[in-house]
Amino acid sequence: MNTLANELSASENSGVVFASAQGHEVSKEHADGRNGAFTKAVMEGIAEGKADLLKKGSITLSLLDAYVVNRVKELTGGTQHPVMTRPATITDFPIAAVK
């Protein structure tokens, strides 16, 4: 999985990759079949606007990453660590507007 994420985010492919956990970790899922910690954090960050950490009315890649990393750590007691990779050629940009 690490290899795939690295290939997708290589500069010649120009892709941004969000992964729910590091390669040696397991993603935590709810026993009742609901979303796991990573999906919950992404949904809160975008749909609920919680990743607008600077309160400017928009969410960038970096803000979403910061929110998700901290929220997943909180939800899993520090046992899961999401990762975002992107080539250096892709600068931070807005991905969502907050109402």
Q: What is the CATH number of the domain that holds 52?
A: 3.30.70
Q: Write the pLDDT tens digit of every residue in 46-65.
A: 999 999 999 999 999 999 99
H/E segment holding residue 2: helix 2-8
Per residue in 62-99, pLDDT (tens digit) is: 999 999 999 999 999 999 999 998 888 888 999 999 98
Q: How many domains does the chain have?
A: 1
What's the domain range around 79? 2-97
DSSP string of 39-79, one letter each residue: HHHHHHHHHT-TT-TT-SSEEEHHHHHHHHHHHHHHHHTT-
Question: Is it the case that residue 7 has pLDDT exceeding 60?
Answer: yes
Query: Residue 61's pLDDT is what?
Result: 95
Q: Which residues of 43-70 are buried (b: 16+ CB within 10 A; e: fewer)?
A: ebbbeebbbbeeeeeebbbebbbebbbe
- Give pTM, 2 decimals: 0.83
